[in-house]
Structure 1
């Protein structure tokens, strides 16, 4: 996965400068960064995100954009479209810093343009590194959870709560068993197997969380889980199951 970068600056010269600085950083670092858009007008950013939604984007925004939409207004709109956005303001108006806090747009940095090019570059680099760092931590947390939707409700479980997921009797639906209850939702076993590496494919219609195995009988080929559920497993899965259980015991 690459981390998308978007710039919005109404001064063509300053837009070119920040673009060159960021492209230089991307070129000489192995970080998964990608400059998606360098815009002179905030509407370009809004239209771009409407057509090509981004997640965990890094946004460098000037506050005074010379239109009826300033950088703070743009940040609010971005936040609605990319809830995990990393907002970084670049401006000559240092007195605007308290205003950004008052508007609660969640900016992670505020960089003044009125400084030497070397200092300005270093500040941009520092902000970029910080944005990467917090994005990585956020994604690690997200990946440790299991999330799904039922109607207009979003459910979020820690992976330690997940026991197993199997196909339901209702077409295209899955049954989720957790430590404390069961749920049904629409998805595919194959997609969840790719998305959640902590799940082990027991057979074509069932994924299990090895960490919630209470007992595995390799004679009867029966697994009992911590929620008292039980599942038979094919003989071909015996070696993989033993390997997974040994990993758990080692930790």
Structure 2
């Protein structure tokens, strides 16, 4: 699962600048982040969220949007849809900072545009990394469930149902095996390993849920899962891997 990024900026030049900066960051970082919307008006944001509500999004909002709806009002509406939204304001009006606090929209940063492009870029990067960090921490505390999207549908499984996740024969897709069935969706193994602490990395292409192991034979290196699937683990796996499996089998 990726963390969606939304940008709303009414100035076309500034919108292009922030888009280029964010795309550059995403290109060189293997993070669970995805730029899903770059908009010039609040209406575009409302339209997008009405069709595809987001969760744990990162929102870069200009305060003065040149309409009767400013960035603070937009943030309030976003938070009604995405209660765990990470709001980051960008503006040339630094005197607006206290007003954002007064309105209690829970902004995590306030970035001034009137600075060098290098400083502006660095501030955007810092805000993005901070938003990702606090979202990661929240997810690790709450990840009793496993969620993913297929088209316009969101699937949610209790972690006890998850058996394993591995790369599919179809590029960029993963296969999820649950106790009762299999599913395919788009995501990255590395991102899921960071996001879901209950998953254990069996190999570069496979994550497993140790709690759904029925038997582990350390002579043949064959693991049998509760849904009947089997996987062979590499001979060079560390003691930590064996310890984690043995610990799960004892529960």
TM-score after normalising by structure 2: 0.62
The equivalences for 1:4-153 within 5 A come to 4-144=4-144
Tell me how far apart the structure 1 counterparts of residues 136 and 30 of structure 2 sit (CA, whole Å).
15
Tell me how far apart the structure 1 counterparts of residues 245 and 114 of structure 2 sit (CA, whole Å).
59
Counterpart of 2:180 in structure 1 is 190
Tell me how far apart the structure 1 counterparts of residues 130 and 244 of structure 2 sit (CA, whole Å).
36
1:198 CA drift (Å) = 6.0
Tell me how far apart the structure 1 counterparts of residues 31 and 198 of structure 2 sit (CA, whole Å).
26
- Structure 1, unpaired ranges of 5+: 147-158, 165-187, 200-208, 211-233, 237-242
Tell me the alpha carbon deviations over residues 193-244 of structure 1, each in whole angstroms, 9 at most, x when there is no partner. xxx9969xxxxxxxxx97xxxxxxxxxxxxxxxxxxxxxxx9x9xxxxxx98
Give the root-mean-square deviation of aligned CA atoms.
Answer: 4.1
1:95 CA drift (Å) = 0.7
| Higher relative contact order structure (alpha carbons within 8 Å, sequence separation ≥ 6) | 2
Moved over 2 A (4+): 188-191, 196-199, 243-246, 248-251
1:89 CA drift (Å) = 0.2
1:29 CA drift (Å) = 1.1
Give yes or no for the alignment of 1:246 onto 2:246. yes
Tell me the alpha carbon deviations over residues 166-202 of structure 1, each in whole angstroms, 9 at most, x when there is no partner. xxxxxxxxxxxxxxxxxxxxxx9638xxxx9969xxx
- Structure 2, unpaired ranges of 5+: 147-158, 162-177, 182-195, 200-209, 212-225, 229-242
Q: 1:245 to 1:76 in 2, by over 3 A?
A: same
How many residues are matched?
A: 186
Q: 1:129 to 1:190 in 2, by over 3 A?
A: same
Counterpart of 2:2 in structure 1 is 2
Contact 2:8 2:38 in 1 (8 A): yes
Q: 1:42 to 1:246 in 2, by over 3 A?
A: same
TM-score after normalising by structure 1: 0.62
Tell me how far apart the structure 1 counterparts of residues 123 and 245 of structure 2 sit (CA, whole Å).
48
Q: 1:249 to 1:98 in 2, by over 3 A?
A: same
Q: 1:249 to 1:51 in 2, by over 3 A?
A: closer
1:3 CA drift (Å) = 1.3
Which of the two has higher C-alpha Rg? Answer: 1
1:249 CA drift (Å) = 8.8
